[in-house]
Structure 1
Amino acid sequence: MLRYLLVIIYISTTAFYGQEISLSGVVKDSVQSLSNVNIIAKPRSKEVNLSFSITNEKGEYTLLLQKDKEYTITISYLGYDSHTFKFNPTQDAEKNIVLHKATEELDEVIIIEEIPMLIKKDTIIYDVKAFTDGKEHKLKNILKKLPGVEVEKNGEVTVNGKKVTKMMVEGGAFFGGSSKLAVENIPANAVDNVEVLDNYSEVGFLKNFVDSDEMAMNITLKEDKKNFAFGDITSGGGEDKYYESHAALFYYSPKTNMNFIGDLNDTGKKSFTINDYMSFEGGRTRLMEKDGASRTNSIQNYTNLINNQPVFESKNKFSALHISSNVNTDLTVSGYGIYADNHMVRRREIINDHFFENSSYREEVQSGQEDDNILGIAKLSADYSPNFKEKIFADLQVKIINNESLEKRFTSIGNILTDFDNENKLKGLELQQDFEWHKKHNSKHTTSLVISNTYNNTAPKEFWNTNRPIFDSIIPLIQEERFNLKQNIDFTNHTLDIVGRHYWVLASNSHLYITLGNKYLNQEYITKDFQVLEDNTINDFENSGFNNDLDFRLNDVYLGTHFKFKTGVLTVKTGGHLHHYDWKSKQEDILSNDKFVFLPDVTAKLELKPSENLTFTYRFLSNFTDAPNYANRFRLLDYNKIIRGNSILENETYQNGSIRYSKFAMYNGLIFNGLIDYKRKNSFIRNQIQIEGIDQFLIPVLQETPETIISGIFNLRKKIKKINLKVNARMQYATFQKIINTIHSEDTKIDINLTGSVTTRFKKWPNIELGYRTKFSMYDSNTGETDFVTNEPFGNIEYTFLKNFTFTFDYRLTEFKNRNTNTSTTFDMSNISLFYKKENSPFGFEISGSNIFHTQFKQNSAFSDFLVSDTKDFIIPSIFMFTIHYKL
């Protein structure tokens, strides 16, 4: 299959390139070369596509033109008179251009409107019509055609190799800034321009202070969509009663904006994923992420709902409504509500190899699991700007979860057979209030105040029914034919963060920042483990060391000072935070402690060129673990795991350094991003494990033996005429400390993930992607070495033909190999679609198939301290659907 696609690429590109001519040269004024100048080649024939180029820092440009086709070439640059000439390409040629400064401001406005792509400092503006042909269906189809923009399958958007962290429409956040919800739902015919804002700050006058690494993308709508309802609706059905329906409806007006997204299917498609969820976390300016303290959030409560894990059956319901209103010129009020309801069935076969110093054993597991998960999110926000020097935000957010899970598991360890039913019910509530005030007093002094108050409560209830007595030496079980165990947990968390920061401009090239903050944390953790007997009486385990009742409190007061200066192309920010920790745990005994911790940090950025920079960061971090690790009585984790917390734990400390290099060259189509990250844990919390047969007893301890993690991420993009080359590399080397049966050892883990692909970008020819991914994982411990290798060749094709038909096909072949056992497994995944839509018709029709070769399972591996897992996840069988699309 991939061999045939490669032949098609070769034939089509050879034929196409035989017709292309290059025109190159240098653009300058009377003094110097000019960078970021737009050169536009408009063909006389409507059948020939527009071509354009942007000069690099040396003023160089290259245009690719069709042979023997007449063009009008216009050179435009802000502040200069445009230059126009006609050109009929017959062979490769060179032409240098000299521009003259404009004398009228009005000319600049006219020029900007004709520029397909405008680059100015941290902003890129794309004129969509210059890159599209009107056959695009969604925003993602537009973005894929814009220079430097890429859209991943998970909905993540990158521009020049950098991830877009906030998605906006008409200047306002789109459902919290989710890129996936935007690219999958915004209709292509509504989009006028795409604006990319690097180093984005929602508070404009803080842009030079907050050192934002955010990248925002703003979608501006066509004029006829700014006071109009638009969107689309799809509905489809397939064999075996498979169904899907989807609605994306939008209304924009000068004062009020409304967006609705709804989804209903049993095909496994999820409209809401972890990436989307993370866009709803945190505040606006994220000042509290800069204080050296590591914070956790409640995402673990939602992972079953929003993880895109393989499932055997899936029914998904999703709806989201967003409303924004400009009350007046100073105040904007907005709010959204999200509801997600998923029913999933999972089937797994797992081989767990347990390796210890003096023994090892293999565990074979067959598992069937049903999950019903409900998530509700509601948020109300106010944005008040009484003047251009003051900004106030206020947010109120509520999250509700209601999850139920039922698992039937059969395990075999030698001649020990265990079967059990595991039922889990989890209800949770989270309430978060955020307030921000930012004030620019004058040109030298600016102040920010951020207050965040969060309350959440989760109450999981666990039930085990098994044929085997568990932990005979610890749990006082009463002998019955089957053992019924229950566990109730009540976990309440209250956090209050207050941060104030003052920005002082000492001179044009030096700033001083002073930060004062306080974080208060109160966690209450109650557990109860017991046996339910056949006569419904209770056998309580409290007298055997079970049942926790913990009140944990932490108060963190900190003072930070940072000095930022710029000299030439170098910008440096250095300083640190002095923390005073005061914490108390109240159980049978009351333990209290306090300490001072200083956490220095430094950041240096070297701007080698306007599109090339090098950034170095090094900082010290500190983190306290959550209350469950302090709870010093037993708690059942699984049929062969018990944990007991440690009340004398202190804070973890570690160092984190990174070097980031990025280069973007529009002239030769090169994008490169590289990151090397170093993390050294000086003191950290890890479970100490005691093994008795197949039973495991865990206790968290604070280890002082260092651990090291070195990782690298490298992305290379190269455009050669109509071909895009892409290489991604991810590597990690890590050393881990572990204590098993009082024996201390150091393990090593190596992960290498390489992906390369070649993609065509034609407008009339089929567009094809061919790639290869290989992943190598190695875990080396004193009990042996484990190696896994995954090889994945893949290919995709997209072709629009006969004006109204679009054909897409993707294929991925996976070979999973266990080098230790010299065994391998091969499986493939493929999807196909044929879409028909007549121009100017609101209706479209699609025939599609997923998993068309009826692959039964996916396979992967995982490592831990003493465990190597080889997992087969059975997946949804092939589905063929007929879908009707209707565009409003």
Structure 2
Amino acid sequence: MRIFTFLTLLALSMAFTPLLAQQNRQGPPMISGTVVDKKTQEPMIGANILLRNQQDSLISNTTTGANGSFSIAYPRLPVFKLEITYVGFEKVIKEFRRGMPLELGEISIGEDSQLLGEVTIEGENVVGEMRGDTAVFNANAFKTRENAMAEDLIGKLPGVTIENGKVQAQGEDVQKILVDGREFFGSDPSIALKNLPADAIESVEVLDQKSDQSRLTGLDDGNYAKTINIITKGNMRNSYFGRVYGGYGADDRYSVGGNINFFNGARRISIIGMANNVNQQNFSSDDMLGVSGGVGGGRRRGSQGGGNFGVSQNNGIVTTNSLGLNYSDKWGEKINFTGSYFFNATENAILDNTNRQTVISEDNSQVYQESQISNINNNNHRANARIEYDINDKNALIIRPSINFQDNRSFTNLEGLNLDQNLDSLSDTRNQTGIETSGYTISNNLTYRYKFDKRGRTISTDLSTSWNERDQLTDLISANKDYVRNSFDTLVQQSSALSDGFNYNANITYTEPISEKSVATASYQIGNNKSAADQKTFQLANEQGIMVLDTALSNEFDNKFLTQKTGLGYRYNNEGLNINMNVDYQYAQLNNVSVFPTEGVFNKDFKNILPTVTMNYKNEGGTRFRFRYRTRTNEPSVNQLQNVIDNTNPLNLSVGNPSLGQSYNNSIFANISKFDMETNKTFFMFLLGSFTNNYIGTNTFVAPQDTLINNEVLLSRGGQITTPVNLNGQMSTRLFVNYGTSIPKWKTKVNLNPGVSYSRTPGIINGQTNINESIDISQGITFASNISKDVDFNLTTRGSYSIVNSSLQTALENNYYTQTSNLKFYYSPNDGKTFISNNVSHVLYSGLAEGFDQSIWLWNIEAGYRFLKNNKGELKVYVFDLLKQNNSVSRTISDVSVSDVYSNVMTRYAMVSFTYIIGKFKKSDLPADDRGGRPGGYPGRRPGGARSW
């Protein structure tokens, strides 16, 4: 019923939104004008138009269209600024007062003389500039191969790295990639990178995007998300473009897919799809893992840390079928709409071999070895939307609904063996597990802001709701042997687990200006997280096949976590300096009701003071400093609270803890960065620190002899059971530095990136506290060419030495070293017609468990021929893993153990493929390269070859 109500309300809101837009189509008065190049008098396509208040906070923004014109709503403030920016050109700032004309006519902007003088490098484009806190890069300044994709271009930007599909900018994970300021298939960064052509990109912005509530109020609340905004070329904004491809190779390997984009001004439709059995994916891991259940002995409740050093991105052999649709439009002058739907179906065959060493006491340890073969089928549907409604100059609204349905089926064969420290066998298990899981999550977020007549006085609210349900059926057949007692037993079991939840969170914030540069805030927030879980487990009782309920493995409970928070804050905003300080008082109530097999009630209250401080500073020399101190609490999950034993692997049991409390986390972030436009040098350094009290760790019990758990479940000697428990003293820190410069003679950029990290993880093992500490020291260097679209290379290497210590066994040796290197080389001897490309990776492991140290070479090579008009057709031969050495090894360090895991990956195959580039543009919109660097793209070659970066 709740789902039906939610969908009905959502449908009604979607239906009435266009009507509201029609009712308000008269709207506020508009400021309009045309921006032209002062020298050539040609229209400047894609110039940024920004409206700012007297404190320089952004009110609204737009870009100029195909004829250089723009139109933007009058903000109805007594005084405000209109700012026009374009890379390589002078910034134009006009101050407006009430009563001034709104028709600005033609506005001419000239080239920035500061960019034409001191540094001259012949034949190079302007690399970029800083616009406030946003780094803007000129796409034309970075040479990419013919028919390259967005990830090829963005990976060349200073301070940006792409590794195993993960994007980092200025040392931080990129959480969003926007296209012309709009979401593209939700918040999944990988889709835009893999489906937009590089030659459609005019510029790339790297910024810290503020929260919706902060952007609506114009006040910085200290919440940021590292974001990349891709600005498309003017000639692409009224066109259609894309590509289709298909390939077939040895062992029936295939890969087909494509994408098509229809851009018509504000209205944009994109369709993507793919089908392959070569481990290619264009979606995030959330689609793979959303509601799937874990199987096998290596998985434990609670958190773990570690790193994957594998050359290949995807473990297992994956078959993928996916389809996506993205729609974006502007309805009238007040409503911006973006929505997407994505479906994917995957089949994955995984082989994992695990070696885990567990510290039991000062003079005792144990080894667990496991081999696991899994076949996993996953189907996922997800849809989301974003509706921005600028009702009038006082009221604004943002709505973000989303829905996700998932179905997952897995079958696993597992063999596990416990050995003592002398490597004598203690116990083993062989089992088969079949799991069927289905579930959904429906959520909605609404942000509303009201501005009073007094400048700076606002009231805003943010409301989020979420419903979820998860239904899981598990069949288990297990054969277990105890070597000490020389006994053997079998287990046939069926279980069903149903969980559902509903949560809401609402906050209201009031801001009151106390001076021209400072604002006081008051806020109240309430949140309630309700969940219910019901698990029933049945075991085979006799040879007649009768299944009986096992109460030791069954549980039913309801959980409610109510949180209320009130706070006061102060915000100071001056040119170059922004400071936010906030103190909240939080009162939380945990109510846990056990219904089966025993009835009981567990209540607990939590009272916390939560301070937050953020500071942003920039000087005239371009150096920027950011600091953030934040406190927060984290509540335990449903899985961690449910007091029911998971015996999927009889050698590695786990059980929840209904008396768990919330954890309290202190985190700091400090960042200093410098972009030198004259010398083309970049520098940034950041420090991250996290300190957690009441950390949700694990209490591990390793059975010294056969032990009954809860007087019903047998744990054989050497077997272990883990329980989540609150502990103090968990911490992690990381220091990362990046220094980039260029070698003009070689047309190559160099990046040095040393780093060091430290983690401290507490745990309990057989009643004793153990502290696992890990120190990681690393150094990397990258050489990236920027020669031409016909010659391109990238050489990178990074070494990392990890020191691992255990407080219970100080003599235990778990230090290890990894070295990862990669060389990419592309060459086309005849202007892109024929080409050859090599991608060689090497990974060295040293110090892992016996049999896991390896030296792996992965060599991928392709050669091809481009034909048809404008090289739109491409035929190539591709060989993956030419040396047949591809491999994947990972190490995980937890509170009481160190695990090494080997996983199967895709190995050698050869494929012949054909790609066709789709594209049609307006005749009046020449490609950027044909405009001589004039409006419609970034300014190309400067007189005398000067550049800013």
TM exceeding 0.5: yes
**1:808 counterpart = 2:808:** no
- Residue 448 of structure 1 is matched in structure 2 by 460
**1:525 counterpart = 2:533:** yes
For 1:675, which of 686, 699, 709 is the aligned residue? Answer: 686
Confirm or deny: 8 A CA contact 2:277 2:319 kept in the other structure. Answer: yes
Confirm or deny: 8 A CA contact 2:790 2:827 kept in the other structure. Answer: yes
Task: Pick closer, same or farther for the CA change 1:601–1:472 going to 2, 3 Å.
Answer: farther
Alignment of 1:251-290 (within 5 A): 251-254=262-265, 256-274=267-285
Distance in 2 between the 1:156 and 1:742 partners?
Answer: 39
Q: Give SS of 1:214's match.
A: strand
Task: Pick closer, same or farther for the CA change 1:472–1:338 going to 2, 3 Å.
Answer: farther
- Residue 785 of structure 1 is matched in structure 2 by 813
| Cα shift readout 1:775-821 (whole Å, capped 9, x = no counterpart) | 22332112323112112333221223211233221112222112776
- Residue 778 of structure 2 is matched in structure 1 by 753
Q: Give SS of 2:691's match.
A: strand
For 1:832, which of 845, 861, 864 is the aligned residue? Answer: 861
Alignment of 1:396-435 (within 5 A): 396-413=401-418, 414-415=424-425, 416-435=427-446
Confirm or deny: 8 A CA contact 1:197 1:215 kept in the other structure. Answer: yes
Task: Pick closer, same or farther for the CA change 1:823–1:369 going to 2, 3 Å.
Answer: closer
Confirm or deny: 8 A CA contact 1:530 1:539 kept in the other structure. Answer: yes
- Residue 178 of structure 1 is matched in structure 2 by 188
Q: Offset at 1:841?
A: 3.9
Confirm or deny: 8 A CA contact 2:278 2:906 kept in the other structure. Answer: yes
Distance in 2 between the 1:516 and 1:201 partners?
Answer: 17
Task: Pick closer, same or farther for the CA change 1:685–1:819 going to 2, 3 Å.
Answer: closer
**1:711 counterpart = 2:734:** yes
- TM value normalised by structure 1: 0.79
Distance in 2 between the 1:330 and 1:278 partners?
Answer: 37
- Residue 201 of structure 2 is matched in structure 1 by 191
- Residue 497 of structure 1 is matched in structure 2 by 505
Point out the more displaced range, 487-496 or 202-211.
Answer: 202-211
Q: Offset at 1:134?
A: 8.5
**1:874 counterpart = 2:904:** yes
Distance in 1 between the 2:608 and 2:428 partners?
Answer: 51
Distance in 1 between the 2:849 and 2:165 partners?
Answer: 36
Q: Give SS of 1:268's match.
A: coil
Q: Give SS of 1:572's match.
A: strand
For 1:457, which of 469, 491, 508 is the aligned residue? Answer: 469
Alignment of 1:300-319 (within 5 A): 310-319=314-323
How many equivalent pairs are there?
762
Distance in 2 between the 1:606 and 1:380 partners?
Answer: 35
Q: Offset at 1:524?
A: 0.5
- Residue 629 of structure 2 is matched in structure 1 by 618
Task: Pick closer, same or farther for the CA change 1:867–1:141 going to 2, 3 Å.
Answer: closer
Confirm or deny: 8 A CA contact 1:117 1:124 kept in the other structure. Answer: yes
Task: Pick closer, same or farther for the CA change 1:601–1:773 going to 2, 3 Å.
Answer: same
- Residue 547 of structure 2 is matched in structure 1 by 538
**1:167 counterpart = 2:148:** no
Distance in 1 between the 2:637 and 2:848 partners?
Answer: 39
**1:339 counterpart = 2:343:** yes
Confirm or deny: 8 A CA contact 1:270 1:308 kept in the other structure. Answer: no
Q: Give SS of 2:390's match.
A: strand
Task: Pick closer, same or farther for the CA change 1:823–1:234 going to 2, 3 Å.
Answer: closer
- Residue 801 of structure 2 is matched in structure 1 by 776
Task: Pick closer, same or farther for the CA change 1:276–1:835 going to 2, 3 Å.
Answer: farther
- TM value normalised by structure 2: 0.74
**1:513 counterpart = 2:521:** yes
Task: Pick closer, same or farther for the CA change 1:388–1:263 going to 2, 3 Å.
Answer: farther
Q: Give SS of 2:754's match.
A: strand
- Residue 28 of structure 1 is matched in structure 2 by none
Q: Give SS of 1:795's match.
A: strand
Confirm or deny: 8 A CA contact 1:122 1:199 kept in the other structure. Answer: no
Distance in 2 between the 1:505 and 1:799 partners?
Answer: 60
For 2:751, which of 691, 702, 726 is the aligned residue? Answer: 726
- Residue 587 of structure 2 is matched in structure 1 by 580
- Residue 794 of structure 1 is matched in structure 2 by 822
Q: Offset at 1:708?
A: 2.8
Task: Pick closer, same or farther for the CA change 1:131–1:770 going to 2, 3 Å.
Answer: closer
Distance in 2 between the 1:354 and 1:437 partners?
Answer: 52
Point out the more displaced range, 158-167 or 715-724.
Answer: 158-167
Confirm or deny: 8 A CA contact 1:229 1:252 kept in the other structure. Answer: yes
- Residue 108 of structure 1 is matched in structure 2 by 109
- Residue 80 of structure 2 is matched in structure 1 by none
| Cα shift readout 1:656-710 (whole Å, capped 9, x = no counterpart) | 223222222122222222222222222222221221122212233323x423322
- Residue 323 of structure 1 is matched in structure 2 by 327
| Cα shift readout 1:204-252 (whole Å, capped 9, x = no counterpart) | 5534433353354444444443333321101111111110011111111
Task: Pick closer, same or farther for the CA change 1:128–1:516 going to 2, 3 Å.
Answer: same
Distance in 1 between the 2:849 and 2:483 partners?
Answer: 32
Q: Give SS of 1:629's match.
A: helix
- Residue 694 of structure 1 is matched in structure 2 by 718
Q: Offset at 1:546?
A: 3.2
Q: Give SS of 2:194's match.
A: helix
**1:843 counterpart = 2:873:** yes
What letter corresponds to residue 742 of structure 1 in structure 2? G
Task: Pick closer, same or farther for the CA change 1:118–1:727 going to 2, 3 Å.
Answer: closer
| Cα shift readout 1:378-400 (whole Å, capped 9, x = no counterpart) | 12442211234432122321101
Confirm or deny: 8 A CA contact 1:161 1:672 kept in the other structure. Answer: no
What letter corresponds to residue 179 of structure 2 in structure 1? V
Q: Give SS of 1:176's match.
A: coil
Distance in 1 between the 2:140 and 2:774 partners?
Answer: 49
For 1:647, which of 658, 683, 689 is the aligned residue? Answer: 658
Point out the more displaced range, 159-168 or 828-837.
Answer: 159-168
Q: Offset at 1:261?
A: 0.7
Q: Give SS of 2:814's match.
A: strand
Task: Pick closer, same or farther for the CA change 1:210–1:528 going to 2, 3 Å.
Answer: same
For 1:596, which of 607, 610, 622 is the aligned residue? Answer: 607
Confirm or deny: 8 A CA contact 2:852 2:902 kept in the other structure. Answer: no
Task: Pick closer, same or farther for the CA change 1:308–1:630 going to 2, 3 Å.
Answer: farther
Distance in 2 between the 1:278 and 1:173 partners?
Answer: 22
Q: Give SS of 1:182's match.
A: helix
Task: Pick closer, same or farther for the CA change 1:878–1:489 going to 2, 3 Å.
Answer: same
What letter corresponds to residue 453 of structure 1 in structure 2? T
Alignment of 1:543-554 (within 5 A): 545-554=552-561
Confirm or deny: 8 A CA contact 1:857 1:874 kept in the other structure. Answer: yes
Q: Offset at 1:472?
A: 14
What letter corresponds to residue 547 of structure 2 in structure 1? I
* Structure 1 unaligned residues grouped into runs of 5+: 1-37, 41-73, 81-103, 280-297, 301-306, 474-478
Distance in 1 between the 2:401 and 2:111 partners?
Answer: 44
Confirm or deny: 8 A CA contact 1:550 1:627 kept in the other structure. Answer: no
Task: Pick closer, same or farther for the CA change 1:160–1:675 going to 2, 3 Å.
Answer: closer
Q: Offset at 1:486?
A: 2.6
Task: Pick closer, same or farther for the CA change 1:680–1:644 going to 2, 3 Å.
Answer: same
Q: Give SS of 1:422's match.
A: strand
Task: Pick closer, same or farther for the CA change 1:643–1:205 going to 2, 3 Å.
Answer: closer
Distance in 2 between the 1:599 and 1:472 partners?
Answer: 53
Confirm or deny: 8 A CA contact 2:315 2:888 kept in the other structure. Answer: no
Distance in 2 between the 1:198 and 1:653 partners?
Answer: 26
Q: Give SS of 1:667's match.
A: coil
What letter corresponds to residue 877 of structure 1 in structure 2? T
